[in-house]
Amino acid sequence: MPNRSAQEWIRLSLRTPGILIFGMVLAPCGWILDLTATVAPNWRTLNNLANTPSDTFIQQGIWDICRATSTNTRQECGLVDTNYTSHQIIEVAQGLMVASLIVTLIGIAVAIPGVRCWKDRPNWTVAGLGGLLIFLSGVMTIIPIAWYTHILEEIPTVNPTATVQVGYCIILGYIGGIMEVLAGFVMFIGICRCCGGKNRGERRVEEVTGTRFSKQPPRRVDVPSLNRARSAASSSVPYSKDSLDDDVSFPRAKTPARSVNTSYGGRPYDADL
C-alpha cells in the first residue's frame, strides 16, 4: 500500500475499531490460561507406578510434583525428582513461561493508551506496538509447550515403567498461546491500512465525499403554463363575471350610486333614537 497522509482518510464512526476490541478482549483471556498452565503442576501425568497402589498417580509440572489418588482429592505435593527437574526443557519452560506472562502485561499496558476512545481516532502506532508485544508473548508460550509435548515420553523420571499422559496444562497453554498470538496479530495489522481501510474503520475522503456529500443535480419541475386558452370543458369554474357580461343579450340596469346626505341638522345622536 502506498503511504498516504492522514488527511486523505476519514473515520466513519468514533467507536473503537473492532480489531482493537478483539485484541484487548482476547489477550487477557490468554494471559489467564497461561498463568494457570504455568503454576499448575500437571504438564504430564504418570500412571501405573511401580510398588504403589493402582489408583495412585503422579502429576508433574515445571515448578512442583504432586502425588494423588483417584479415590482421594487431597494431593501430596513437594515431591523431589532430580531426573525430571534437571532436564533442559524444565529450565527453558520456566524462563519462557514467566517471561511470557510479564511481556503480556507490558503489551496490554502499552496498548491501552492507544486503544482509548476518548479521542477522535486511536493511536495506531502505540496500539500496534502493544499488539506486537502480545504476539511475542504468545510465541514464547507456544515454544516450551510444543517442545515439552514433543519429548513428553523422553523426559526421564524415577519411575521409568510408568505410563505417561498429557496433562491439562499443555492444553491450556496451547489455547492461551494461540489466543495471544491472534490478539497481537490483529492489533498489529492496524498500523497499516489494508482492505481499503476497513480494518481500521476508515475510508478515503474522496470515497465518502463522492457518495454522501456530492451535490445532486437540480430536479426539473414542469410548471403548467398560465397563458393557455380557456376551455369550457377543462375549466373547473362554470362561469365568470366577464362571461356573464358578454353573454347577456339585453341591457342590465345599473345599480345607482349611494348618495350621502350631508344636510342633516339635528342634534347628535337624535337619529339613533
* DSSP code for 271: G
Q: For residue 67, is it left (φ>0), alpha (ψ between -120 and 50) or beta?
A: beta
> In this model, does residue 11 exceed pLDDT 70?
no
> In this model, does residue 37 exceed pLDDT 70?
yes
Residues 69, 56 contacting (CB under 8 angstroms) = yes
**The domain at 14-206 falls in which architecture?**
Up-down Bundle (1.20)
Domains of the chain, by residue range, sit at 14-206
- Taking Cα atoms as reference points, which of 16, 7, 4 lies closest to residue 201? 16
- Write down the pLDDT at residue 7: 47
Query: How far, CA to CA in Å, does 163 sit from each of 65, 153, 231?
Result: 16, 9, 110
Mean pLDDT of the chain: 76
Do strands 56-60 and 65-69 pair parallel, antiparallel, or not at all (unpaired)? antiparallel
pLDDT (mean) for 208-230: 59
> In this model, does residue 5 exceed pLDDT 80?
no
Residues 77, 65 contacting (CB under 8 angstroms) = yes
> In this model, does residue 60 exceed pLDDT 70?
yes
Residues 204, 197 contacting (CB under 8 angstroms) = yes
CA distance 54 to 256: 136
Residues 177, 30 contacting (CB under 8 angstroms) = yes
- Write down the pLDDT at residue 249: 55
- Taking Cα atoms as reference points, which of 209, 251, 246, 252 lies closest to residue 230? 246
The residue ranking higher by pLDDT, 222 or 99, is 99
